[in-house]
Structure 1
Amino acid sequence: MKVEAGSFSISLPSTPLQARSSRVTCVVAATLAFLLGVAVGMTLPIVLVHSPLSSSFQVDFDRQEAARDTGSFVQPMKEPEGVQSLIAPEHTWSPYIASKLGIGNDSSGIPSLRTSNDVSAVDQNALRSEWKRMPSENDFPNGEEAAALLIEGVYWGDSVEEKLPPGFSDSEVDEWRKFTRQHAVVRLEEGCGRMQNRLVIFENGTKSCCRYRQNYDQIQGEIFSFYLSRLLGLTNVPPSALGVVKAADWQWSNVGSQLALAQWTEERPVVLTRFIEGLVPAFIPASLREAKRRLHPVNVEGQDPRDMTELAQWSDLVIFDYLTANLDRVVNNLYNMQWNPKMMEAPAHNLARHQKSGLLVFLDNESGLLHGYRLLDKYETFHSSLLKAVCVFRRSTAERVRQLVLRRDVGDRLRKMFRRYEPDLQDYLPPIPDKSIKILNERLQNVHKQIAKCEKWYRNS
């Protein structure tokens, strides 16, 4: 007797006992096949659902960003009052898009800013591993020389400091400030984050991200955060300068209709930041992602020396964001963990890495010093947890903090910088408020105390 099933044919025995036995065997085999199919069918969707690339949160995240740029705001989940700026960041950074468009450094080797909202379509694992490729394996010592990675227990050693990317020099900052006052604007394009921001193209083709706001707080926050970065010796913030929108003025007369389309008000101060190309997403270091986040000497020991230039810049970033109470960077990731436990694995908001040099670029600091200070009661837990997690510092940054604490003149110095660098803007933008200076001095003392505490713990260990 022959039974055919699909492309298979099975010959069954003719005796009743043998037939019964064969039927039992067939039933068992069919049952096992069915159970295997069910297992595969259930496991595959679960794997796909938990994949970073198919995360529903990321879809909602991208929908919110896209809606924000068109003037609406998609809200798939209830958003706590007063934290809209935390839910939808201004920038995400995609090396995939950059490579497809051929974005890189210009002929001078100067990095320029590039934005993209397509990070959800990028292979996240590839992005996380990409930054580890810089610098090359031969750039750092090994063996006994590796001890020079840290000195006096809590400071990055010379072998790390020498490999840090130089960032934006004082001369570049001066040149940018002069440039923005001497060249006419010929075109405005949408981009650079929020809806009313514009990508400004000057007459020689140079680009700038121009920040426009209806209130002064965020313009003050952006420019005074930039000044503070220079006082601290941090060269990671792109060169920025103030300007005033005047449609009839020679600098803006070519784009009068575009100013009207952007709904920019006449004689409003704006911040012109140099456009940086060749940027890719920057990820939060593994040691700062966990619930018990720590960047202490014991966490640095044994790590790949190639990672040290990134970690050294992160130690500066944590201090800078704590001092300014920046809400729109790592605190944003921490806050959103209540909805997405894997948020710390996503790219850090408003932070990018220059692909060629390895420089971390601290972008969009408008929440610093004013807006962020008003929300300290709500978000100080996040700021403090990051500061307390760090016990390895750059000596130059620690020394700048010490000097500012001893002299208590950070307010005077910030205001002098404003008067010196922007003499024509004194009637358009108020100086940094006294209340902000008071809070900044308190936070400088907190950073100083954290450094002293770490020195006590680790200097003689």
Structure 2
Amino acid sequence: MGYFRAKTTSQWDSDIKPLQFKPNHTSVYKNFCLLSVTFAFSVGFTLGILIPLVYIKSHNANETESILNETLATNTSVIKTIFLNNSYGYMNYTRNKFPSVSFVENIKEPSSDEQLIEDGIYWGRTIERALPEGYHDKKHVIWEDYVKNAIAVKMENGCGRMQNRLITFQDGTKGCVRYRQNTDQIQGELFSFYLAKILNIPNLAPSTIRVINLNDPLWRNLRNEIASAQWNSNRPIVLTQFISNLNSANIPNVFKPVERHLNKFDVINMTKNEVLDSGDLIKTLIELAQWSDLIIFDYLTANLDRIVNNLYNYQWNANIMDAPAHNLARKANSDLLLFLDNESGLLHGYRLLKKYEVYHSILLDNLCLFRRQTVDKIKELKSKGNIGHMLRGMFEKLNSETVKDILPTIPDKSVKILNERIEKVSNQISKCESNFSNS
């Protein structure tokens, strides 16, 4: 077959040299085979287990991530709703986490001659002297005396809500009439006004109580207008001095969600702000000093119709904190803030504390700058426990028998809650003294 020739048996025999293993070589070979089989089995078994586990873990991880994202979204909503951050929490966190570093305490305070802050928690004399005068006892008495003999000649729509009216007197003076079907709203407006007087807060316009009586000289020229307004006779109304030249007022940045606290270090940071010149700085601090009174006043009365309105609605509208504050106005010619519409205070607001207390507490719990006269009065009221007696005394003294026959005085339950809230404000002041006092 060409080049190929079959080999003879002897030739095959000569080419083949049979393997000859010694006994120990055979043992090694067997062990090697066993090891290879074991290794192959182990690798296959491991891969068979790990591949499903990796899939399951990946699947679970995706589910966990999804659940985590849902939880974070829920928590974000909660945080937006009740504004959990606060200045004390921040201070305690930095001190505990970095015990050798205190970012707050490393800020240098302004020298005493600047007089922006005193004793760590009070607005200084520079700010107190610059505050607008507002409405104090003398102006309240003047309005009360004026209304006693006033004769209204015109009534028209205005002054807010549907049944409110703007009235004009014979000499051109104007007043706002608050008419309500619910007596407790009239009580809330009146006793909130009295409380502001007791606290020496000058940001409420002079007000008094009158009764709708068409035979009274105050009303006899307005029979047709009263009928058109669907006012009932023998109803109590609040008659407030009309204040002109009012602009809207916004919530300061320090009370918005990113910051939401006011203490001496916030003011110190403002003094270092190169954008603010000295005039703008003082103007800003004048506004904040009035806000410190507003926060205390609204907490004591549990006012629902001002800042709580914004805080509550923030959960649906994150931009609402940039909108003008509800029922707050600024006098264009003096920067005085006017605390308007306090009818939910002390009665209606107290009935809804279970739902809204968290919002009432948000700003108070993070306020650590106060007017000294307000602090002094809060401490006095806590010590004497006589706020109920004072409110009822003013009601008896300032109102006619006709008014007192129709309008009840402040209820015992409201007095009890008010005393509890006075104590809460006092405790907040003590906490601020502990954290920020210079002594």
TM-score (norm 2): 0.71
Which position in structure 2 is the counterpart of 1:403? 380
Does residue 1:380 correspond to 2:357, yes or no? Answer: yes
1:460 to partner: Cα distance: 3.1
* Cα 1:330/1:177, change in 2 over 3 Å: same
1:149 to partner: Cα distance: 0.5
Which position in structure 1 is the counterpart of 2:42? none
Q: 3-state SS of the aligned residue for 2:405?
A: coil
1:282-361 equivalences in 2 (<5 Å)? 282-303=249-270, 304-361=281-338
Which position in structure 2 is the counterpart of 1:170? 137
Q: Please, what is the CA RMSD of the aligned residues?
A: 1.4
Which position in structure 1 is the counterpart of 2:124? 157
1:23-62 equivalences in 2 (<5 Å)? none
1:179 to partner: Cα distance: 1.0
Which position in structure 2 is the counterpart of 1:182? 149
Match of 1:412 among 389, 395, 403: 389
Identity of aligned pairs, percent? 51
1:193-204 equivalences in 2 (<5 Å)? 193-204=160-171
Match of 2:231 among 257, 264, 270: 264
Quick one: distance in 2 between partners of 1:395 and 1:444?
16
Quick one: distance in 2 between partners of 1:418 and 1:143?
45
Bigger-Rg structure (1/2): 2
Match of 2:405 among 398, 407, 427: 427
Quick one: distance in 2 between partners of 1:169 and 1:388?
28
1:338 to partner: Cα distance: 1.6
1:250 to partner: Cα distance: 2.2
1:335 to partner: Cα distance: 1.0
Does the CA-based 8 Å contact 2:136-2:197 persist in structure 1?
no
**Range that drifts further, 251-260 or 146-155:** 146-155
Where does the alignment leave 5 or more consecutive residues of structure 1 unmatched? 1-141
Does residue 1:364 correspond to 2:331, yes or no? Answer: no
Match of 1:219 among 186, 191, 196: 186
Quick one: distance in 2 between partners of 1:306 and 1:205?
33
1:305 to partner: Cα distance: 3.2
1:143 to partner: Cα distance: 7.6
Quick one: distance in 1 between partners of 2:425 and 2:329?
24
Quick one: distance in 1 between partners of 2:426 and 2:263?
16
Does residue 1:148 correspond to 2:125, yes or no? Answer: no
Quick one: distance in 2 between partners of 1:390 and 1:143?
20
Quick one: distance in 1 between partners of 2:113 and 2:175?
41
Counterpart AA for 1:415: R
Does the CA-based 8 Å contact 2:114-2:126 persist in structure 1?
no
**Range that drifts further, 430-439 or 297-306:** 297-306
Which position in structure 2 is the counterpart of 1:106? none
Which position in structure 2 is the counterpart of 1:449? 427
Quick one: distance in 2 between partners of 1:191 and 1:438?
36
Question: Where do 4+ consecutive residues of structure 1 move more than 6 Å?
Answer: none
* Cα 1:310/1:423, change in 2 over 3 Å: same
Q: 3-state SS of the aligned residue for 1:162?
A: helix
Quick one: distance in 2 between partners of 1:359 and 1:185?
28
1:144 to partner: Cα distance: 4.2
1:428 to partner: Cα distance: 1.4
1:391 to partner: Cα distance: 0.6
**Range that drifts further, 294-303 or 430-439:** 294-303
1:176 to partner: Cα distance: 0.3
Quick one: distance in 1 between partners of 2:246 and 2:380?
33
C-alpha deviations, 1:394-440, integer Å up to 9, x for none? Answer: 11000000000100000000000011111331111000000000000
Quick one: distance in 2 between partners of 1:368 and 1:143?
38
Which position in structure 1 is the counterpart of 2:103? none
Does residue 1:206 correspond to 2:183, yes or no? Answer: no
Quick one: distance in 2 between partners of 1:280 and 1:257?
32
Which position in structure 2 is the counterpart of 1:251? 218
